[in-house]
Structure 1
């Protein structure tokens, strides 16, 4: 097992809410705007890969793909499992159920 896979597993296990993100990714910026809007940005641990060179960035993304089956930016994990991406956030916003969904996962009381 590569160090990247081991680290990806540790990151996912170590936080109730974690997001694989990159500072240059527009979908990640959108997801963070949702966290700010609902006052939960500080509850979502961010694993930022945007500052790495392309080789290291891809190693981390591949490691997350091996561990979780997904390498999207952003990928949102809840309790060690993939919860979704920005696509789910958009869907829940469109359907008017985002607040309810965030309550379901305990991000909002």
Structure 2
């Protein structure tokens, strides 16, 4: 059996009296959804005096190398590998196993300018993410931190 569906152009819909005119993308026409989209784009306010912010600050200050990571993230694995090859002990904070991981990630976003993981710190300074660490290792720049 053959079924034929008739498609109308938007101009035909607007002229058809039985169909109310609609914005071409109905989900964008809903004010509640527009408000939700607008609020999702609004930057979050991060409390830099929170216990999560203090945790990040103390962890970064008291360890030579700190990697904020997620266990399943390939870029995190990429960031950890050079330290393993150099026999450098790194403090690794796995955010996906931490009940406060999302809040810690928000703090990291505020400090470093991005929420993505990994976030790697050496000597209290933000160094970069997975590709940054890999590139530094390949060029010998990473090794200079440990000589």
Normalising by structure 1, we get a TM-score of 0.76
Shift of 1:16: 1.2
Rg larger for: 2
Matching residue of 1:39: 87
Matching residue of 2:145: 105
Task: Report the 3-state secondary structure (helix = DSSP H, G, I; strand = E; otherwise coil) of the residue aligned with 2:127.
Answer: strand
Q: Which has the higher strand share?
A: 1
Matching residue of 2:125: 81
Q: Does structure 2 retain, via aligned residues, the 8 Å contact 1:5–1:66?
A: no
Partners in 1 of 2:57 and 2:68 — Cα distance?
12
Aligned length: 99
Unpaired segments of 5 or more residues in structure 2? 1-48
> What are the superposed Cα offsets for residues 30-53 of structure 1, whole Å, 9 maximum, x if unpaired?
22222223333xx11111212135
Shift of 1:25: 1.1
* Larger RCO (CA under 8 A, 6+ residues apart): 1
Q: Which has the higher helix share?
A: 1
- Aligned-pair Cα RMSD in Å: 1.9
